Amino acid sequence: MTHLETAPQPRCQLRLVTGGVDTHKDTHTAAALDATGRLLGHQQFPATPTGHTALLEWLRCHGEPDRVGVEGTGVYGANLAEYLQTVGVQVIEVDRPDRKSRRWQGKSDPVDAEAAARAAQSGRATGTPKLRGGPVDALRALRVARRSAIAQRADTQRQIKALIVALIVTAPATLRTELHSLADRPLIIHCARRRPDRTHAGDPATATIIALRSLARRHQQLTDEITDLDTLITPLVTAINPALAGLNGVGADVAGQLLVTAGDNPHRLRSEAAFAMLCGAAPLPASSGRTHRHRLNRGGDRQANAALYRIVLCRLRWDPRAKAYAARRTTEGMSKPEIIRCLKRYIAREIYIALLHPQDQQDGP
């Protein structure tokens, strides 16, 4: 070979590899494993479209990507996961390593990327990422604003009650009687309409009334904001899944939460048992020796679990079949919390069917 000839470029090896990616705001760190689990290398790439392409090409230089485990597919890894799915690469959603593993192995981007690859290769991680950019994403954004407004309104109402308690101690008897006898809604209206003398703001009673007026008006503004968001959320939920919105005990708020939990691609949930586990409604085995029992599942999406709980409460009050079931289980010796847990599991199965068949109107027990 003369000095003018260039050295031959190394060819990419044709073998199956498993990738793992630890995602961050500005960079993604990738790791590659061969079929036997041997680490082939790791590399950092910018979190940009160009970086996504370079990451995939780097994996292909080690072989043919079989699957890629990605951390944070709902946040920093959302764009990368979408790109990989677009080009036909199977993406596995990987949770971050638990704290016990991190104490033993340490923490770094290459270590986390390798852990993501091993979780995807071993089958310990099997989740399919949610699709982004669909109507459920729009619903999710509206619900974030609504939940924030509800939390702030509740906090404002608590502050109003606390100020009223302080005012009752120092206010004249007529004002104490006037405020103490009002229910919540008339109290908000009454405080919002007050016209205190601002020139006497140094007086504690007058300052308290001014504060109550400000808080009451804030409460009214938040109520108007929640109502405005509801006018957008309700038709959107019905349009996304009319079958779910038509179920007994399922209102717009409950249906919206369940749709957000399932995502735009509910078929990623492989079974109704998987959906129940996602909602924390599947009891966990806690048997040992001759003892055979199950314990309460405290994991899963707790907001979805709360949505199932509200459905159960509604049906226990209005649905004859749910009432009959509760009565039968009570005679068998089950407590009310146990009956509610059983009903949540049954309702999770019904919700799962509605999620997969959004156009089928149905009404289960």
pTM of the model: 0.80
Q: Which two tokens stand for residue 107?
A: 């923490």
Sign of CA dihedral 354, 356, 357, 358: positive
| Mean pLDDT taken over the chain | 86
Note the pLDDT tens digit of each residue in 264-306. Answer: 889 988 899 999 999 999 888 777 777 777 777 888 899 999 9
pLDDT for residue 243: 92
Q: Worst-scoring range by mean pLDDT, 7-16, 64-73, 201-210, 234-243?
A: 7-16
pLDDT for residue 202: 76
Q: Where are the beta strands (DSSP E) in 235-325?
A: 284-285, 294-295
Contact 142, 40 (CB under 8 A): no
Distance CA 210, CA 197 (A): 9
What CATH superfamily is the domain 16-122? ATPase, nucleotide binding domain (3.30.420.40)
pLDDT for residue 348: 95
Domain boundaries, the chain: 16-122, 135-240, 242-285+294-356
Q: Which two tokens stand for residue 255?
A: 């249906």
Distance CA 73, CA 131 (A): 10
Going by pLDDT thresholds of 50, 70 and 90, the confidence category of residue 123 is: confident
pLDDT for residue 3: 46
What integer is the mean pLDDT of 180-193? Answer: 85
* In the chain, % of residues over pLDDT 90: 53
pLDDT at 362 over 60: no
Distance CA 275, CA 202 (A): 58
pLDDT at 241 over 50: yes
